[in-house]
Each structure stands twice: as C-alpha cells, then as structure tokens.
Chains A and B, each alone.
Chain A
Amino acid sequence: MIYADNAATTRISDAALNTFITLSRDTYGNASSLYTVGQRAKEALEQARADIASVIHAEPREILFTSGGSEADNQAIRSAAVLGLSKGKKHIISSAFEHHAVLHTLNKLEKEGFSVTLLPVHEDGLVRPEELEDAIREDTCLVTIMYANNEIGTIQPIRELGAVCRKHGVIFHTDAVQAIGHIPVDVEADNIDMLSASAHKFHGPKGVGFLYAKKGIRLTNLIEGGAQERGKRAGTENIPGIAAMATALKEAIASLSERAEYVAARRDRLIAGLSAIPHSALNGDATKRLPSNVNFCFEGIEGESLLLLLDDRGIMASSGSACTSGSLDPSHVLLAIGRVHDVAHGSLRLSLGDDITDDEVDYIIKNVSEVVTYLRGFSPIWRDLTAGKKPFIL
C-alpha cells in the first residue's frame, strides 16, 4: 500500500500521538482551573504556544489556537476586513487558486460590500509580485495569498509579495497550511502579518491549527464565549491536540531540510517517469513546488476512474476531476492555471510521504502508465484524438 495523498492529510506521528495520549490521560484538567492538574494543562498549552512561535520566528502572544486551517483563514480575513472597514477601506486582493476557506470567505465579504481582486496565477501556478503591486489601491485593507498551493504544490514568492504589502502598508495574510513543516517558513523574514496552519498536514492530529497574527493586529472573534485565547477564541482549549501539534511541528522542523531533499529527489523521479506517458503534462512549475507534490493531467481520461483503479493496485491519490468533487466543474486550481475542462478532468495528484522509496515511485509510474493506457483504450475522446478528428491539447 502506498499512501500518496499527504496533501489531504497525514498519519499522526508516534511522538505526536504519545503527547496526545499523555495529555488526554494524565493532564486532563481545564487550563482555566486553579488546582494542579488544571495548571499543568495551562503550562502544556503555553509551552506549545512558545514552541510553535519559536519555529516560525514569532512571539508566543502572536499565536492563537484554532480548530484548523479553515477557521484560521476565516478569522484572519474577517479580522482584516473589520479593521479595513473602520478606516473606510473595503478592497481585498487574493489569488484565483486559493483554498475555498479563503475564496468562500471573500465571496461572503463581497456580498457585504467589499470588492475583491483575484490575481492571475499564470501557467506556472505563480503569482507575480509586480501584478500585486499594480492591483493595490488606496482602499486595499488585505492581501491574502497562499504560501503553497494545495493541489499543484507551487510555492509563491511570499517574501517578495510580503515586501510589496509592507511598502504599501497593507496587511498580508498567507494560508501556509501546505507549507508549514515542509519548507522553511519565517514570518519575520517573509514579511508576513498573518498566517494560517493546520496540524494534520504535518503529522499532527486533526481538528487543531493555529493563526499567527502580528502584534498590533486586532483580531475579531468568530466564536464568542469564555476568555480563552486572550478573549479572541472562546471554548475550552484542545490541549492534547495543541500539544501534539507542537510535538509534530518541532519534529518536522528538526528534519526539514534532509527530508525535503530526499522527498524532492523522489518527486523528480516520479515527474520524469510520468512525463514519459504520451499526451500528459505536469501542472505547475517543476521546481518551485513542494518537495512532495506531483500533479499531472492525462489527456483522454477522467480522474475518478483513474483513482479507483489505482486504489485497486494499492495506490492512494487524489484528482481535481469534477466527479471527485461532486460538482460539474473540475478543480478551480487547474482552470486558474489555464487547463481547459477536457484536460482538467483527467488530473492526478500524488503527494508523497517522507518514507517513499525509489521502488515505490517506480511502482507508481508503472501502474499509472498501465491504467491510463487501459482507460484510453475505451475512451471515445482518445479515439477521436488518435484518429485525428480532434487536435491534442497536451
């Protein structure tokens, strides 16, 4: 079995699971309580906050714990919108291929009177800093651009984008859910004002994440209630989850560069192997991408049937086809980089684990190649393409 869907979620690490179990079993107190087991829980919470802050070069008080990346994205954008509104600024800039946690929040704000500019991401899956600069207006209150894309893995020029925002005094938020724990992220060096992260993408538990918000940025609550998280996020803290997230993140950071180098070499082997399949194309820039991410389009086939047959062969992956999303449209990410519908339906995302081997990569190449050939064998589109009735797109 090869689990190649680590961009969807990862298996919790043994160390993170141990932290989770220990805190659930032994340090079960409520951090708001005065007695010892409560205060121990409070200490674990603040230790996790300090550990996470130091990893991204922030201060502990700048870290707010959330239920995950989506909540962090929602709160970051809402907060910046409220701040903007107080100064009469109602323009937000983002990119065309953000996560839906960002895009849907922006849609809601548009209905509330904000105007939103979505920057193009071009064929290479990258936002251009000069295009950001051109888009900034007097009334721009927020720029939100993801660190690395969840489908095609392209890594944005975050530091340059952040510098443009600094120059114009605009708050810069980045959804770093796919990046944290996999590539170096430093909020100070990268000029980031707000950042969202999710534990289960770096071998932490599900249902926990954090929002970094630079000192001085006033957050708006999504959840009202108790005084937890400096009054900005009510609800008894998920301390086992938060502490396990800190364990997982420290672990990921300790081995980051050697892991990234190892996985990227397997990624490139996989890209080279899949490129040999006729009428296929890699989605997104070949080098400015996450070490684990491979995303291809194969002409003449549909992604869901590819996934099901790969699952039969022990390979777990994902696709941006409409059939896997439950809608009629294929992935907005693939459409944003200029893939037409016909081709976008035939996409495959493989997001490799840290322990992927060369043999497993070769097994994936062989099986993807066989399944694509098999499906093309009875695809009416492929028949028309090979008969010259329609021109190949890829």
Chain B
Amino acid sequence: MALYSEKVMDHFRNPRNVGVIEDADGVGEVGNAKCGDIMKMYLKIENDIIEDVKFETFGCGSAIASSSMATEMIKGKPVAEAMKLTNKAVAEALDGLPDYKMHCSVLAEEAIKSALEDYEKKRAEKTDAQ
C-alpha cells in the first residue's frame, strides 16, 4: 500500500521490542481506546542507561510502527538523551507519516516521556526511603 513508507510497513510488519518487562523500572501508558490508540512502554534502566525497552500498542499501522521505531531510538541511550526524543524525529526515522497520522508519533514520544517520568518518580521514592 502506498499509504505508508516502506520503513513504516517494515516496523509495522516486524515490530521491534514488542512485549512486557515484568520488573520494569519505568512504565508509561498514553492514549485512550475512545480515539483508537493506546501505547504502553516498559523501561529497564541501569546506571542511567536504558538497557531494555518493550512496548504494547493498540492502534493502527502507524501507531505500531511509531512505537517500534521509538523503542529502537532510545534503546542503549542515556536517560537524558531519551528525554529529548521528539515525535518529529520518530516520524523522520520512519521516512515520514501521512499528516493525519502524525499524532501516532506524538503518542510514541509521550509514551516514552511518561515511562521516563515514572522511572524518575520511582527513583525519587527509593532515594527518600533510603
């Protein structure tokens, strides 16, 4: 289909980093079923490096592809760098998205930020407890 780029179709057909991390250091979920897109991100972080990342997505082809691409872009990266990931960068890495699908890349950015915030929150709680 010409609706999506080859890269979107590749990440949609063979999504990277699909699944769950049971003892995740940070979990983020964004979107809602009413609009037809939900993304959930799981992060495993050691020494401020994102050692592992997994996602689950309910949504269209570009939502799944955006989640997949976003996880690839932050895996192995320092937390500070992952925080800077933008939806534009995700869409560009996918060789573009149709205009009305740009919100899928926004969700991917928000899901990662939400998971990172969860990580920071948990870390702050741990520090407080100590």
| Residues of A participating in the B interface, judged by any CB pair closer than 8 Å | 300-305, 308-309, 311-312, 321-324, 326, 328, 330, 341-342, 345, 378-383
| A-B pairs with beta carbons under 8 Å apart, 11 shown | A302-B37, A302-B59, A304-B60, A305-B63, A308-B12, A321-B60, A323-B101, A342-B34, A379-B56, A380-B39, A383-B56
Q: Does B66 count as interface, using CB distance less than 8 angstroms?
A: no
What 1/0 flags go to B27-48 for Cβ under 8 Å of A?
Answer: 0010001111111100000000
Inter-chain contact total with CB atoms closer than 8 Å: 71
Q: Choose one: A305, A326, A328; the contact of B64 (CB below 8 Å).
A: A305
A380, B38: Cβ atoms under 8 Å? Answer: yes
B59, A328: Cβ atoms under 8 Å? Answer: no
Q: Measured between alpha carbons, how far is A291 from B36 in the docked complex, in Å?
A: 30
B36, A330: Cβ atoms under 8 Å? Answer: yes
Q: Measured between alpha carbons, how far is A330 from B59 in the docked complex, in Å?
A: 13
Q: Measured between alpha carbons, how far is A31 from B96 in the docked complex, in Å?
A: 50
Report the minimal beta-carbon distance from B121 to chain A, rounded to whole angstroms: 20
A301, B60: Cβ atoms under 8 Å? Answer: no
B37 cross-chain contacts in A, Cβ below 8 A = 302
A305, B18: Cβ atoms under 8 Å? Answer: no
Q: Choose one: B9, B29, B34, B39; the contact of A341 (CB below 8 Å).
A: B34
B57, A379: Cβ atoms under 8 Å? Answer: yes
Q: Measured between alpha carbons, how far is A326 from B57 in the docked complex, in Å?
A: 19
A382 cross-chain contacts in B, Cβ below 8 A = 58
**Max chain A C-beta neighbours (<10 A), residue from B20, B36, B38, B61:** B36
Q: Measured between alpha carbons, how far is A345 from B62 in the docked complex, in Å?
A: 15
Report the minimal beta-carbon distance from B7 to chain A, rounded to whole angstroms: 14
A301, B58: Cβ atoms under 8 Å? Answer: yes
Residue of A nearest to B64 (CB): A305
B60 cross-chain contacts in A, Cβ below 8 A = 302-305, 321, 323-324
- A381-B100 contact in complex given A304-B60, A305-B64, A345-B33, C-beta closer than 8 Å: no
- Which residues of B from 34 to 85 have beta carbons under 8 Å from A? 34-40, 55-64
Q: Measured between alpha carbons, how far is A299 from B39 in the docked complex, in Å?
A: 16
Report the minimal beta-carbon distance from A61 to chain B, rounded to whole angstroms: 45
B100, A378: Cβ atoms under 8 Å? Answer: no
B61, A308: Cβ atoms under 8 Å? Answer: yes
B1, A381: Cβ atoms under 8 Å? Answer: no
A321, B1: Cβ atoms under 8 Å? Answer: no
Q: Does B88 count as interface, using CB distance less than 8 angstroms?
A: no
Q: Measured between alpha carbons, how far is A225 from B69 in the docked complex, in Å?
A: 56
What 1/0 flags go to B2-38 for Cβ under 8 Å of A?
Answer: 0000000100110100111000000001000111111
Q: Measured between alpha carbons, how far is A303 from B9 in the docked complex, in Å?
A: 16
A326, B100: Cβ atoms under 8 Å? Answer: yes
